[in-house]
A and B are shown apart, each in its own frame.
Chain A
Amino acid sequence: MMHVVQRVLPGVEERGGTAPKETSRGYGDGPAVVVRGLRKSFGGQTVLDGIDLTVKSGETLAVLGRSGTGKSVLLKLIIALQCPDSGSIRVEGQEVTHLELEAMNEIRKKMGFLFQHAALYDSLTVEENIAFPLKRHAKMADSELGDRVKQLLSSVGMEGDLKKMPSELSGGMQKRVGLARALALEPGVLLLDEPTAGLDPITSGEINELILKVQEEYDMASIVVTHDLHSAKTIADRIALLHEGNVLIEGTFKDLEKSDNGFVSEFMKRDS
């Protein structure tokens, strides 16, 4: 299989056209997530076959690919919800593949995860959902915690829905609350699994704007798994296209558009 990996140096023109910012936490600080030779199989079927990826602080990488190519598995491996067969994953300089649970939980505090269907705790209110990680990891007085929850909800435009239950929220609202919960501990790495899946184009646009806003505000490394090419173009600095368990091409949106690889052209054409 041919691998057309077009790596992009920092500072190139993109995020759909603009260069990623140089920030206090970003770019100069080195890679936030480094994945090397990552392999994962399920019952003899190889899903990831030696993936290499690097995401720097302050940078957003979109991972694209057909269904079943292991995009969501990649995110779950990074946050150690699943174990790889082999390979290395370093998050903020620390190897996470063979950590004890307690040590892994310390690293998880530095990471936020937005699940595909938000995965809000359905027995808790919106307020309690956001407070869940704060209560356990942030040493805060109750009043301080309440203010932080309100601030997080306000940053995702949900300040009026504190007492609602997840079942009372629409899909887009659940994603917003899920994003606020992922941001609660001010993570250095944000993992987003299909943030716009199942949403109408207007709500998808709103979620994309929200992701851009929080990226600006929190300045963290983000990995976004998506099928939505428009979303990838809007929010990502770089894009990696997975195919047959490998990164087929990695570069800016323009690099993908210009690629003469048959699968890449087909993918870009079908999705646009």
Chain B
Amino acid sequence: MSHNPNIPHRLISQDAPQAPSFARATFTAVWNPINGFLEWFGELGLFAWQVLRAAIRRPFEGRELVRQFDEIGSKSLPLVALAGAAIGFVLALESRSSLVRFGAQSMLPAALVYSIIHETGPIVTGLVVSGRVGAGIGAELGSMKVTEQIDAIEASGVNPYKFLAFTRIVACILVLPLLTLAADFCGVLFGWLAETLAEPISLQRFINQGFVGTTFRDFLAPTFRTVVFGLIIGMIGCFQGMRTQGGTAGVGRSATSSVVISSLFVILADVILVKIILVFFS
């Protein structure tokens, strides 16, 4: 085939690829992450539906549930208690200097208790557990996926959504409020310790001053929040773990993404739930 040598070949070639327009490239760059996010959300929704369907059918895997209580609850307790204690101690030290400046140091116990019960205790517990448990669930289930252990469970005629996911999610939901109470307790105790180092005060007086005006209702809203945190941590950890691909590198990615995504969602849920609680409970 011949063509006019004065005309560059690229102008007459039918095969030459068209350079993507700037608009198309921009659209692709913006749309791809959105599409990926929507796909991820859709898959998460399907996963949640599978877990829910499995949950309402017998058997209820009681033994595995108890094992998960121990794994997620008992083994997280030292870390959560330590985090709560550290927050209480630091909060007392920091608040004291501010309150002294305004001559309101007598308000410290009440300010500390209010702060710990309403915000610091739940969010610190949520983040600590999402770090420890989210990574643990993501890595464990991811490793089970790549070594075909989840396939083996399914091949045995056992529903992995129930045996692996439902038990872990329920354990997270039930354990988070209890761990939050432990964090609150340690926070208040170490807050008193920090206060008593600066200006001796008996524990009883500190508690009396701290809990003045506090009612059972003050515990309800934060407890409800931690239930949601538990649902998020369990669901994201199991979802990321059970969709692991790509060998040991994939397991690492699942563990990391479980922590990152569950922590982000815990913070996001905290913001939304605080607003809802302020509207409906105040």
- Across the interface, which residues of A come within 8 angstroms of B151, CB to CB? 76, 81, 115, 119
- CB atoms of B158 and A113 under 8 A apart: no
Given contacts A119-B147, A119-B148, A121-B149, contact A113 B59 (CB under 8 A): no
A87 at interface (Cβ–Cβ under 8 A)? Answer: no
Given contacts A115-B152, A122-B149, contact A105 B57 (CB under 8 A): no
- CB atoms of B149 and A133 under 8 A apart: no
Instruction: Tell me the smallest distance from the CB of A100 to a CB of chain B, in Å.
Output: 10
- Across the interface, which residues of B come within 8 angstroms of A122, CB to CB? 143-144, 147, 149
Question: In the complex, what distance in Å separates the CA atom of A79 from the CA atom of B157?
Answer: 10
A106 at interface (Cβ–Cβ under 8 A)? Answer: yes
Give per-residue flags for A121-152: 1 if the beta carbon is below 8 A from chain B beta carbons, else 0.
Answer: 11100000000110011000000000000000
- CB atoms of B157 and A106 under 8 A apart: yes
Interface hits, A94-112 → B, CB 8 Å: 101-102, 105-106, 108-109, 111
Question: In the complex, what distance in Å separates the CA atom of A221 from the CA atom of B155?
Answer: 17
- CB atoms of B148 and A136 under 8 A apart: no
Residue of B140, B144, B157 touching A137 (CB-CB under 8 A): B157
Query: For residue B140, which residue of chain A has the nearest CB?
Result: A123
- CB atoms of B152 and A113 under 8 A apart: yes
- Across the interface, which residues of B come within 8 angstroms of A181, CB to CB? 156
Q: Categorize the interface residue count of chain B.
A: 10 to 19
B70 at interface (Cβ–Cβ under 8 A)? Answer: no
- CB atoms of B149 and A108 under 8 A apart: no
Question: In the complex, what distance in Å separates the CA atom of A119 from the CA atom of B57?
Answer: 26
A117 at interface (Cβ–Cβ under 8 A)? Answer: yes
- CB atoms of A132 and B156 under 8 A apart: yes
Instruction: Tell me the smallest distance from the CB of B154 to a CB of chain A, in Å.
Output: 6
- Across the interface, which residues of A come within 8 angstroms of B59, CB to CB? 136
- CB atoms of B152 and A111 under 8 A apart: no
Give per-residue flags for B132-167: 1 if the beta carbon is below 8 A from chain A beta carbons, else 0.
Answer: 000000001001100111011111111100000000
- Across the interface, which residues of A come within 8 angstroms of B152, CB to CB? 113, 115, 119-121
- CB atoms of A101 and B158 under 8 A apart: no
Question: In the complex, what distance in Å separates the CA atom of A121 from the CA atom of B152?
Answer: 8
Query: For residue B67, which residue of chain A has the nearest CB?
Result: A123
- CB atoms of B157 and A109 under 8 A apart: yes
Given contacts A119-B149, A122-B149, A136-B59, contact A101 B155 (CB under 8 A): no
Question: In the complex, what distance in Å separates the CA atom of A105 from the CA atom of B158?
Answer: 7
- Across the interface, which residues of B come within 8 angstroms of A132, CB to CB? 156, 158
Given contacts A119-B147, A121-B149, contact A113 B155 (CB under 8 A): yes
- CB atoms of A117 and B155 under 8 A apart: no
Residue of B140, B143, B157 touching A136 (CB-CB under 8 A): B157
Question: In the complex, what distance in Å separates the CA atom of A114 from the CA atom of B242?
Answer: 21
- Across the interface, which residues of B come within 8 angstroms of A108, CB to CB? 154-157
- CB atoms of A133 and B148 under 8 A apart: no
> 6 nearest interchain CB pairs?
A108-B157, A119-B152, A105-B157, A119-B148, A113-B155, A133-B156
| A interface residue numbers (CB < 8 A to B) | 76, 79, 81, 101-102, 105-106, 108-109, 111, 113, 115-117, 119-123, 132-133, 136-137, 181
Q: A106-B157, A108-B155, A115-B151 are in contact. List 8 more A-B contacts (CB 8 A).
A: A79-B155, A101-B159, A105-B159, A109-B157, A122-B147, A123-B140, A136-B156, A137-B156
Jot down 22 A-B pairs with beta carbons below 8 A, ordered by A: A79-B155, A81-B155, A105-B159, A108-B154, A108-B157, A109-B157, A111-B155, A113-B155, A115-B151, A115-B152, A116-B148, A119-B148, A120-B149, A120-B152, A121-B153, A122-B149, A133-B157, A133-B158, A136-B59, A136-B156, A137-B156, A137-B157
